[in-house]
A and B are shown apart, each in its own frame.
Chain A
Amino acid sequence: MSMDTLKATFFAECEELVEAMTEGLSQIATDDWDSETVNAIFRAVHSIKGAAGAFGFEKLVEFAHKFETVLDRIRNNELAIDADVLRIITRASDVLAELVELAQVDPNETPAAYDPVLSELANHADSGETAASSDDLFAPVAFAPLALVIEESVAEFTVEFEPSAAFYRNGHEPERIFASLGDAVQVTCDTSRIPDLAELDPDQSYLAWSIEVHGKTRTEIEKAFEYVDGLASIEFIEKEEPAEIEPPKAVEKPAPPPAPKAAAPRPASTQTLRIDPERVDRLINTVGELIINQAVIAQKIAAGDRSPDTEVASALDDYRYLAREIQEAVMSIRAQPVKSLFQRMARVVREAGEATGKAVQFETIGETTEIDKTLIERLADPLTHMLRNAVDHGLEAPDARAQTEKPQTGTVTLSAAHRSGHVVIEVADDGAGLNRKRILEKAVQKGLVPSDAVLSDSEIDNLLFMPGFSTADQVTNLSGRGVGMDVVKTSITSIGGRVSISSEPSKGSVFTILLPLTLAVLDGIVISVAEETMVVPIANIMETIRPESDDVLELTPSNWVLKVRGSYVPIIPLAPLLGLGRTAPNTGPFILVEAENASVFAFAVNEIYDQRQIVIKSLEGNYGAIPGISAATILGDGQIALILDPDALIALAARESASKPRCVQEA
């Protein structure tokens, strides 16, 4: 990662910071503020200073430092905000914003107001000077650039693509794949293997393609072929272009800030457009409506008795395609690399390491992974907590670690990746792993589980997420904040994600967050439960089954199982669970879902319809949360369908059967 890209990031972030600072000041100006407002301004100025130091923007650092000192005094109640002080800090923020602007062109230039404001700040800063610099974690050199992502080099690839017959049987279309590779592709079809007409078997595959792709990384290309893996032979041939392939450098040396080059022109290519997120939201909503509208038209046409006009049908397909295109484009406006978040987290880890006296190395993977901006914002708190936990509880204390064969320095890894329609974020440590015995003891002691409970490892791990669980007997100044993992879980769930733990004794623990790519749409299967139409998110579904009647077995009147390929899966009849009727487990279709802890359940439903992309509509704004229901959506006919939350339903069913064992048999 070159200095220029780092700088570009810095300036983009500065814009945000300046905005935060200005907003805080306007709150103070309208007399609507508290200590957090001042803290926010302080943090903004502090962050600007810290990063500016790394680039050697001395004027900026000097000014920010003075400004920060004054703010620190306000924060510590040593300086009251009166009209005069407000004027100075407002002017100071203007100068700071201007300095940031100027630094993009010439870091040595200062605005006219620089000196007078600086001296005014100095007047107010006197007594606070020492206090501020003592806790200064961001002395210019201390900003060591952490290991950043190694960007995959963009190269020329030739992909030899030869689909098997199964490829076509599964309904794949080579053209779709080619189209998803973008415009810069050149496709050559090899028809040499097509036999004479007499010998041609229409169910066989005879064609092979050679695709030249320009300007894509290998991962991007692989993504296009993600779903046909195993159905075709795919071979990547990278063109030899040594100039393009840089030897991957793992860590850039924390080089001393380079001497700023004078009058570097502001790079035009990195221009960004700043948009009020609300406008984007409106666009996303409208596009959502457009997709619903398309579904309405499709349904109306399908409902007509006449066989649909092929031209209309294909025009409708185009419509759907375009609507999706627009949707994706709009979504991408909101998408942002997680880099800024990860960089913030680096600081969290550093601070946690210092606070606990543990040597920690922080590694990040997949910083360029893009996710919805709102998700990024709402990930900051849970991630902060998880990383602190990883350092505080995950890694062994220095003396305990010395007794292992592991290196003295513990490693905490934060990674992000896209995995089939989801974003996976992992926080891993190489510490001692979860102490399951102690967790169980703790849970029993707190009355969270009965003392005779026999729990599997994953069930024990999940106790960490229970409200009221906290290994609080070893309160440190980090974890003594009274926030448990249940808060992490709640905040992740509220953005449609899931958290899970895996841990191996003495190897470490991994906390995995699975998030939807966006908050606005999801793929789901439309089902009916006792006359009501509902949607199950496809992410939770393993398969749908229409079983033979002797595959449904009764264990006890309230416990039925479904035999699936030799194993037995508990059946959860949805209608009685949701209070919509008392149908016993029937032969009707089942939906197999996987719970958070990887156990499998079969939902008994009345009917399974088609799979669709649906727009999520929150129920909580106007109504409130409903157990087992995550949200609602609007179907093609304008009716509302509820979106089921399989994990919550499984929990609900478990609670139901635990609280009142049904002794009455419903026939």
Chain B
Amino acid sequence: MTETTSAKESLSEFVSLTAGGQGFCVDIHTIREIRSWTPVTMLPFSEPAVLGVMNLRGAVIPIVDLRERLGLGPTPEGRRNVIVIVTVSNRTMGLLVEAVSEIISVSSDAILPNPTQSVETQPAHIVGLISQEDRMLRVLDITGLLPADREDAA
């Protein structure tokens, strides 16, 4: 990943994407690549948002339906659906989204805090809001999207 420079405070880059018809964006540093949809292998006992695992050049990575994960229902099959491969804290996963649109640069003051974050019921997946032209982009916290650790034996 690129090293941070002094420009860090001023500008951050995000990739904007669409899931459930809504605009989201993800820190570009967490994104490894973007791939088209390929069939996955189902995992038993997984949460509904985990579609399964796929083979990424020899690595086994879980694919999470972003829309379902955010409680917006399963993503319908679509030809434009893509998988965004992200890596956070040494874990790699794929996010199924409806579309990926562009790379945006915003200064850090332009990222507004999520005003609903203090509300108990609101999941903390959205850590900020960016106004982009007439749209609002939700900044996603990828760490919170990782499939929960399945270590629930006994």
B55's contact among A579, A627, A638, A642, by CB below 8 Å, is which? A638
B151's contact among A621, A625, A640, A642, by CB below 8 Å, is which? A625
- A285-B58, A632-B53, A640-B53 are contacts. A624–B150 as well, Cβ < 8 Å? yes
Q: Indicate if the CB atoms of B55 and A622 lie closer than 8 Å.
A: no
Query: Does B135 sit within 8 A of A, measured CB to CB?
Result: no
What CA separation (Å) do A621 and B53 show in the bound complex?
12
Q: Indicate if the CB atoms of B150 and A622 lie closer than 8 Å.
A: no
- Prevailing SS type, chain B contact patch: loop
Q: Indicate if the CB atoms of B147 and A579 lie closer than 8 Å.
A: no
Q: Indicate if the CB atoms of B149 and A624 lie closer than 8 Å.
A: yes
What CA separation (Å) do A628 and B152 show in the bound complex?
12
B59's contact among A578, A617, A627, by CB below 8 Å, is which? A617
Chain A residues with Cβ under 8 A from B90's Cβ? 621
How far apart are A420's CB and chain B's nearest CB, in angstroms? 28
Chain B residues with Cβ under 8 A from A623's Cβ? 43, 50, 53, 60-62, 93, 147, 150
Query: Does A626 sit within 8 A of B, measured CB to CB?
Result: yes
Chain B residues with Cβ under 8 A from A479's Cβ? none
How far apart are B87's CB and chain A's nearest CB, in angstroms? 9
Q: Indicate if the CB atoms of B150 and A642 lie closer than 8 Å.
A: no
Query: Does A629 sit within 8 A of B, measured CB to CB?
Result: yes
What CA separation (Å) do A494 and B59 show in the bound complex?
19
- A467-B154, A623-B43, A632-B60 are contacts. A639–B55 as well, Cβ < 8 Å? yes
Chain A interface bracket (under 10, 10 to 19, 20 to 34, 35 or more): 20 to 34
Write out, one digit per residue, whether chain A residues 597-637 have a CB within 8 A of any chain B CB (1) or not (0): 00000000000000000000111011111111100101000
Q: Indicate if the CB atoms of B93 and A626 lie closer than 8 Å.
A: no
Those of B104-154 within 8 Å (CB) of chain A: 147-154
Whose C-beta in chain A lies nearest to the C-beta of B153?
A627
Q: Indicate if the CB atoms of A622 and B92 lie closer than 8 Å.
A: yes
What CA separation (Å) do A467 and B151 show in the bound complex?
15
Those of B54-113 within 8 Å (CB) of chain A: 54-55, 58-62, 90-93
What CA separation (Å) do A15 and B94 show in the bound complex?
43
Chain B residues with Cβ under 8 A from A625's Cβ? 149-151, 153
Those of B23-49 within 8 Å (CB) of chain A: 39-46
Q: Indicate if the CB atoms of B39 and A622 lie closer than 8 Å.
A: no
B60's contact among A532, A622, A627, by CB below 8 Å, is which? A622
What CA separation (Å) do A393 and B39 show in the bound complex?
54
Query: Does A580 sit within 8 A of B, measured CB to CB?
Result: yes
Q: Indicate if the CB atoms of B41 and A640 lie closer than 8 Å.
A: yes
Chain B residues with Cβ under 8 A from A439's Cβ? none
Whose C-beta in chain A lies nearest to the C-beta of B54?
A640
Whose C-beta in chain B lies nearest to the C-beta of A292?
B58
How far apart are A474's CB and chain B's nearest CB, in angstroms? 26
Query: Does A289 sit within 8 A of B, measured CB to CB?
Result: yes
Q: Indicate if the CB atoms of B58 and A634 lie closer than 8 Å.
A: yes
Q: Indicate if the CB atoms of B42 and A622 lie closer than 8 Å.
A: no
Query: Does A397 sit within 8 A of B, measured CB to CB?
Result: no
Q: Indicate if the CB atoms of B39 and A642 lie closer than 8 Å.
A: no
Query: Does A641 sit within 8 A of B, measured CB to CB?
Result: yes
B44's contact among A533, A578, A624, A638, by CB below 8 Å, is which? A578
Show 27 A/B contacts (Cβ-Cβ < 8 Å), sorted by A. Answer: A288-B58, A289-B58, A292-B58, A532-B42, A579-B45, A580-B44, A617-B60, A619-B53, A619-B60, A621-B90, A622-B59, A623-B43, A623-B61, A623-B62, A623-B147, A623-B150, A624-B149, A624-B150, A626-B45, A627-B150, A627-B152, A629-B44, A634-B55, A634-B60, A639-B55, A640-B41, A640-B52
Residues of chain A touching chain B, judged by Cβ–Cβ distance below 8 Å, are 285, 288-289, 292, 467, 532-533, 578-580, 617-619, 621-629, 632, 634, 638-642
If A289-B58, A578-B45 are given as contacts, then 4 extra A-B residue pairs at C-beta distance below 8 Å, sorted by A number, are A624-B149, A624-B150, A625-B153, A634-B58
